[in-house]
Structure 1
Amino acid sequence: MAKNGNGNDPAAGRRAPAGAAVLREDKTEAIRAAVFAELAAVGFARMSIEGIARRAGVGKTAVYRRWRSKLHLVLDVVSAVAAAGLPTPDTGSLRGDVRMLLEVASRALRHPMASQIIPDLLAEAARSPELATALRAALHDSQEGVAAAVVASAVTRGELPQDVDTRLALDLLTGPLYWRLLVVRDELPKGYLDALADSVAAALGAE
């Protein structure tokens, strides 16, 4: 390897110094889990880097090496949720696909953390355009793709007309559950998801 006039390797100065921090994945995951726990426990406004670090069992510097603020940390976590998305069902019928989506969505919304975190973040999003954009991706855009796939399959099977409104389908799929589970905070009575699946399929014009 070429050396300079002093006999030193010129690339040496560009190397990471000995003992430089390596971002351990286990710590990163612990921090992400702590974010969810802190959001559920105290909400976004009262959440702090100190509290997150304490819950994750790491120092504050471990958090700041990865994210420069709690907003960016939450944005990252929310974006990861959006990337995961909902599974696209393929039951062979519109009603079956709708019923499966309702089941998955209802389980997610009834999770103790989700039932605390989502309303809090939606309220905070009114004051933070960045958070509002991330929540839109997590709670709307990713789900709209699934709804579009369900509608497209139903159109191909001849169950729905060509001009069905995909965004309306998403509203019908998720609106009642958000309202009942996160706003009214009421339990779902027996047979509710079956009845809702029938209503959604009928409202979309299923033949």
Structure 2
Amino acid sequence: MKSVNILQGFLPLIVFGLLAGSSVASVMVALGAALIITVIIGFSDLRKGMILTWANLVLFCSLLIAVGVLGMTGLLPVMGMLIYAALAAVTFGSILVKIPFTLQYARDMVDRTLWEKPAFIRVNVLMTGVWGGIFVINFILDYLAFAYPHSAGGITPPLTYLVLLAGIIFTIWYPGHIKRKYSFPSGQSGR
């Protein structure tokens, strides 16, 4: 799988997290930057109908309109939870409709004859499920920071980045592991 392509799908989330502060202005800048990155970096993926990129586009555009146009500033304290809940829903939803979002990226990397192989599909369900789990964990961490700002508020933001980093490392490592495990010839994979 082109790990770089799939990881580009997470760049808007990372940029949002790095830029968003506690003020309306900083959240607007963060949402705008995430939206711009989604469109510029993900333009090709949007044209291909990639689920993750479309989810980012709809999510960050909706939040930008809600806060910037409709003035729904009450969303600011729960914005992280909303983002992670939406991404988890899209991720698990993609599994339920039998189009795990990682499958779309993996198909760009393997011979067409492997696309319908059960092992290929299972591996992508697993990888998509891992990302769904990551989004759920980060939702919980954001909830803890919201519910217990004095005790959990300082530690949870760095933990969300560590959880995302673990997902990135897994996404880079796992396809190669599967390829080596099943000894697929160059250019083929069991995903």
After TM superposition, the score normalised by the length of structure 2 is 0.30
| Structure having the higher Rg | 1
More helix by share: 2
